[in-house]
Structure 1
Amino acid sequence: MHVETKPGDFGPPRDEQELAAAADIMMQSYAMAPAAATAWTQRVGRESLRLLREGGHVAGTLVSIPMGQWYGGRDVPIVGVGGVGVSPIHRGQGTATRLMQHLLREARESGAPLSTLYPATQPLYRRVGYEHAGARYEVRVQIPMLDVSERTLTLRPIEAKDEAAITACYQGQAQTRQGWLARGPYVWSRVYVPRDGTATGYLVEGDSGVQGYLYVVRKSLAGWKQELFLSDVVATTPAAARRILAFLGEHRSLGTEAVWYGGADDPLLMLLREQSYSVKLDMHWMVRVLDVAKALEARGWPAGLSGALHLEVQDALLPENHGRFVLEVSDGAARVKRGGEGRLRLDVKALASLYTGFHSAEALRRVGALESDETSVRSAVSLFHGPQPSIRDMF
């Protein structure tokens, strides 16, 4: 029996009927086949789905994914957002904005200081406080040009018993990469079973244990050719990096390109003899600061650097973030307290770009997203300096 709803009613699906409604919205929002939309809702699970009910009907849906993101070598809890969709009959009425507002309040109450997403459209997410915070790049390497030779390490198929070692191997790399995800089960499932097929895993190991791995999906092309899509690739030693590249090169008789995602500064590319590869922007991702003080205290900071910033933050949606804060950094950690002189003024969107290191305080000032005195700008440039943020995974 259908349950009557109140305007703005937000939460997980209550029954099979609402689960089917979520699948229908996904089908119509993203041009998915009906079977694919149903399979998607089942894979996501009720506990991750959120629905907005208006006028007695399911008006919108999204996926809320608790996980983490590495900033300054620390795992900062985040709520990832995906699969945002609105029923065609509810569009143009502010439904998507209300859906996101409900999600942000829930996410803040969960204790997560940040929310991260890939935008299908930017105006919606900027209206609720998200801003560009990093980039995901597509790397394409020409397999016939791979002439790396390496046989000192063993490469074998991954087995179930290797799961813990692989997780540790990934984490060892991710924590050194600004913005990479601290993966949970949902994101790891996308590594094992990407949208375009099931991946085959290979482990690289030597006398010291696991030193790397890769997951490969072979995509058939015309004329018996194939493209190798790597849903994940990690090398923790130079020998492991060379062994992985040698393995890919051994596919040169039929392989055209090896493709993976990550940062534009992928160190694997340094091992190639020529620039026989392309690096192309795939998408900018966005961050929303849910809790200013908690976010600033959760991330890591440059070791050996100390300083203080007097911030003034504007946040029209979450009044708890609105006002002045003093950020004090020393010994790689931060302490935040209310008050101060508000010398560096910005809204919560600009704070997201500054927080991840995607844009410097100077760059934000040049486009009018930040106002400050020279001393505070120089301090902010130093404190938030770091490698460009990127993410390997889509979610």
Structure 2
Amino acid sequence: MDATTAPQFGPPQGEQELAAAEDIVCQAFAMPPEEGPAWRKRIEAGGAQLRVLREGGSVAATVAHFSMGQWFGGRSVPLVGIAGVGVAPARRGQGTGTRLMQTCLRELRAQGVPLAGLYPATQPLYRRVGFEQAGSRHEIRVQLSGLDFQERSLSLRPIQEADLPAIHDVYRRHAQRQQGWLDRGTYIWNRVLRPRGEPTAYGYLVEGHAGVEGYLYLSRRVAPHGLRQELSLSDLVALTPAAGRRLLSFIGDHRSLADEVVWRGGAADPLLFLLREQTYQVKHLFTWMLRVLDVPAALQARGYLAGLSGALHLEVDDDLFPENRGRFVLEVENGEAEVRPGGDGDMKLHVRTLAPLYSGFLSPAALQAAGVLEADDVSLRTATALFSGPPPAMPDMY
């Protein structure tokens, strides 16, 4: 099948379209041309699906997506991550990016996907197709001089291949307690083990009588000012306070070599609470976005606080999916949700506004203050209770 007879949207057909897709991505993300094939092989190894949009008989734009999950209210909601969005330079400014994303989202919704997420290079494009801000990613930079821990009660050793199932289980147990962390698939785990633009990541775990309690993956790079090092963590997880102190002790043991350690996560990392002094900086890096593709399915898949009950009458507007338009009743009983059509529509909002409400990124009152949500006082109180939780954050990039 050649490019003139292939469907307008779908996997690249043949070496010519693959090369065109790689070239578009390299130009969109300022990568050297020779890195295109390596990029494609990397995403394919992680299970990502590469798609192209054809216009005028040639490849006009690219997008890659991959399946995973995202933790909300203690439950993993199926999520497709969007990456590698690029438009051929000659096609820019002609609505190609919007058509690409609309077509991609239609395909995903038809497959039963309730949520899509991405890190935006530009927000207007993604807002046009229903995405909105839903959580943050922060850089945490700690001075090793402040890591004066001497915790040795747990043993620490390098991670072996046989440890990976236990490591994945520890991560999952920790991520389930968070809001917005990814339920990782192969693509994200590959990025943890082989962080892009970083030296090799070395893994270390801590364990007690009950097994693995925490771990980290650490890369060492020469600091800009000379012979000293900077430590970069592509993952840092502690299930217990003792594991947190043991990992911080291990990092502090590098004081003769390095001045700082950096990792990514949320603004209120509990490990920082263990430090004697405020010998750290927390810097906002990105705000990620969500798109609710299926309103009832997404609301029902999410977790809610155990013991919590209430009903919220929503009226949702969606420019892309007629199935999402209209009134829905979210009924939560002891943390379990059911969604049915109908109701009084006491809370009116666009599907874009549903994203930060759903994730807990902005409170109902904040969304009302921004002029993107209409509701009476009872609905505001109910929504505040239903969607309460820690600020949504994400240590991973995709």
Q: What is the TM-score with the length of structure 1 in the denominator?
A: 0.98
Secondary structure of 2:268's aligned partner = coil
Q: Residue 12 of structure 1 contacts residue 47 of structure 1 at CA under 8 Å; is this kept in 2?
A: no
Deviations 1:32-68, CA, capped at 9 Å, x for gaps: 0122222111111285111111111111111111100
Deviations 1:278-300, CA, capped at 9 Å, x for gaps: 00101000000000000000010
Deviations 1:341-393, CA, capped at 9 Å, x for gaps: 11100000001110001111111111110011111111111111111101110
Structure 1 stretches of 4+ moved >4 Å? none
- Looking at structure 2, the residues matched to 394 and 47 of structure 1 have their Cα atoms a distance apart, in angstroms, of 14
The one-letter code sitting in structure 2 at the alignment partner of 1:208 is A
Q: Residue 131 of structure 2 contacts residue 355 of structure 2 at CA under 8 Å; is this kept in 1?
A: yes
The one-letter code sitting in structure 2 at the alignment partner of 1:101 is Q
Shift of 1:198: 2.2
- Looking at structure 1, the residues matched to 16 and 380 of structure 2 have their Cα atoms a distance apart, in angstroms, of 54
Secondary structure of 2:271's aligned partner = helix
Q: Does 1:349 pair with 2:329?
A: no
2:380 to 377, 383, 389: 377
Q: Residue 3 of structure 2 contacts residue 58 of structure 2 at CA under 8 Å; is this kept in 1?
A: no
- Looking at structure 2, the residues matched to 37 and 290 of structure 1 have their Cα atoms a distance apart, in angstroms, of 30
Aligned to 2:209: 207
Shift of 1:5: 4.5
- Looking at structure 1, the residues matched to 36 and 280 of structure 2 have their Cα atoms a distance apart, in angstroms, of 35
Q: Residue 153 of structure 1 contacts residue 206 of structure 1 at CA under 8 Å; is this kept in 2?
A: yes
Q: Summarize the alignment of residues 56-205 of structure 1 with structure 2, pairs less than 5 Å apart.
A: 56-196=57-197, 197-205=199-207
The one-letter code sitting in structure 2 at the alignment partner of 1:31 is A
Aligned to 2:265: 262
Deviations 1:180-204, CA, capped at 9 Å, x for gaps: 0000000000000011232111111
Range with bigger deviation, 218-227 or 82-91: 218-227
Q: Residue 22 of structure 1 contacts residue 61 of structure 1 at CA under 8 Å; is this kept in 2?
A: yes
Secondary structure of 1:150's aligned partner = coil
Secondary structure of 1:305's aligned partner = coil
1:282 to 275, 285, 306: 285
Aligned to 1:9: 8
Aligned to 2:253: 250
The one-letter code sitting in structure 2 at the alignment partner of 1:34 is P
The one-letter code sitting in structure 2 at the alignment partner of 1:24 is D
Q: Does 1:43 pair with 2:55?
A: no
Aligned to 2:339: 336
- Looking at structure 2, the residues matched to 188 and 119 of structure 1 have their Cα atoms a distance apart, in angstroms, of 21
State the aligned residue count. Answer: 394
Deviations 1:227-285, CA, capped at 9 Å, x for gaps: 11100011111111011101111111121211111111111101111000000101000
2:231 to 210, 228, 231: 228
- Looking at structure 1, the residues matched to 208 and 312 of structure 2 have their Cα atoms a distance apart, in angstroms, of 47
Q: What is the TM-score with the length of structure 2 in the denominator?
A: 0.97
Aligned to 1:22: 21
- Looking at structure 2, the residues matched to 354 and 145 of structure 1 have their Cα atoms a distance apart, in angstroms, of 37
Show structure 1 runs of 5+ residues with no match: none
- Looking at structure 1, the residues matched to 48 and 372 of structure 2 have their Cα atoms a distance apart, in angstroms, of 37
Q: Residue 5 of structure 1 contacts residue 55 of structure 1 at CA under 8 Å; is this kept in 2?
A: no
Q: Residue 86 of structure 1 contacts residue 96 of structure 1 at CA under 8 Å; is this kept in 2?
A: yes
- Looking at structure 2, the residues matched to 317 and 271 of structure 1 have their Cα atoms a distance apart, in angstroms, of 47
The one-letter code sitting in structure 1 at the alignment partner of 2:344 is E
- Looking at structure 2, the residues matched to 263 and 169 of structure 1 have their Cα atoms a distance apart, in angstroms, of 18
The one-letter code sitting in structure 2 at the alignment partner of 1:346 is L
Show structure 2 runs of 5+ residues with no match: none
Q: Does 1:239 pair with 2:242?
A: yes
Q: Residue 48 of structure 2 contacts residue 187 of structure 2 at CA under 8 Å; is this kept in 1?
A: no
Query: What is the root-mean-square deviation of aligned Cα atoms in Å?
Result: 1.2
Deviations 1:200-241, CA, capped at 9 Å, x for gaps: 111111222101110011111232111111000111111110
- Looking at structure 2, the residues matched to 53 and 198 of structure 1 have their Cα atoms a distance apart, in angstroms, of 38
Shift of 1:145: 2.0
The one-letter code sitting in structure 2 at the alignment partner of 1:137 is H
Q: Residue 60 of structure 1 contacts residue 86 of structure 1 at CA under 8 Å; is this kept in 2?
A: yes
